[in-house]
């Protein structure tokens, strides 16, 4: 069900104990995230409830349940994005993560690098709401920073386009 509005996410499917107050806190955090989105960014919220029932056979594959990406810079060749994702870790636990991602200029090309990450492991509706608020605050804070992918690459010790 990719590319749905935030309000289409059915939080009670993630945790049956997700209360109306926790839903309101989460909606408010999502609203703050939307205000950080640049006007030209047409990103939406993704929602894949079918990933809740996927058998986790490979520990390195984590099904994304919900999330969004904010594009801060995209030249068509280089880019900088912020991503908030809710990923299934086990049947009873999810991870809420927020990342700063830049285009890769390595040889060979890995497509992108995560240069900053904040994660929260959750197992209840209350923990999910708190983690979502925290991740959303980090995303909004990072969106107010530099929009230059090279600055993030340099800070992470990664190659930039001119060194390739």
Helix 20-36 with 125-143: angle, nearest 10 deg: 10
pTM of the shown model: 0.90
Q: What are the E-state strand segments in 9-157?
A: 45-47, 64-74, 79-88, 94-103, 112-122
pLDDT digits (tens, 9 = 90+) for 36-71: 999 999 889 999 888 887 766 666 667 889 999 999
Q: Are 124 and 92 in contact (CB under 8 A)?
A: no
Stretches in the chain below the pLDDT threshold 70: 1-4, 55-61, 162-164
Q: How many CB atoms lie within 10 A of CB 109?
A: 10
Please tell me the predicted confidence (pLDDT) of residue 164. 47
Please tell me the predicted confidence (pLDDT) of residue 110. 82
Please tell me the predicted confidence (pLDDT) of residue 161. 80
Please tell me the predicted confidence (pLDDT) of residue 2. 53
Please tell me the predicted confidence (pLDDT) of residue 7. 83
Please tell me the predicted confidence (pLDDT) of residue 163. 53
Please tell me the predicted confidence (pLDDT) of residue 50. 86
β pairing state of 64-74 and 45-47? antiparallel
Q: How many CB atoms lie within 10 A of CB 134?
A: 15
């Amino acid at each position: 069900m990719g590319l749905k509005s935030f309000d289409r996410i059915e939080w009670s499917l993630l945790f049956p104990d997700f209360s109306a107050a926790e839903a309101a806190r989460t909606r408010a955090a999502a609203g703050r995230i939307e205000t950080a989105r640049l006007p030209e960014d047409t990103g939406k919220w993704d929602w894949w409830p079918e990933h809740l029932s996927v058998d986790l056979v490979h520990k390195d594959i984590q099904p994304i349940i919900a999330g969004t990406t904010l594009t801060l810079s995209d030249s068509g060749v280089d880019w900088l994005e912020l991503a908030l994702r809710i990923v299934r870790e086990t049947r009873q636990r999810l991870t809420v993560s927020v990342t700063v991602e830049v285009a890769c200029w390595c040889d060979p090309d890995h497509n992108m690098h995560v240069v900053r990450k904040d994660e929260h492991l959750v197992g209840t509706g209350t923990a999910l709401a708190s983690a979502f608020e925290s991740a959303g605050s980090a995303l909004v804070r990072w969106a107010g920073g530099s929009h230059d992918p090279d600055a993030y690459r340099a800070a992470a010790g990664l190659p930039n386009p001119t060194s390739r």
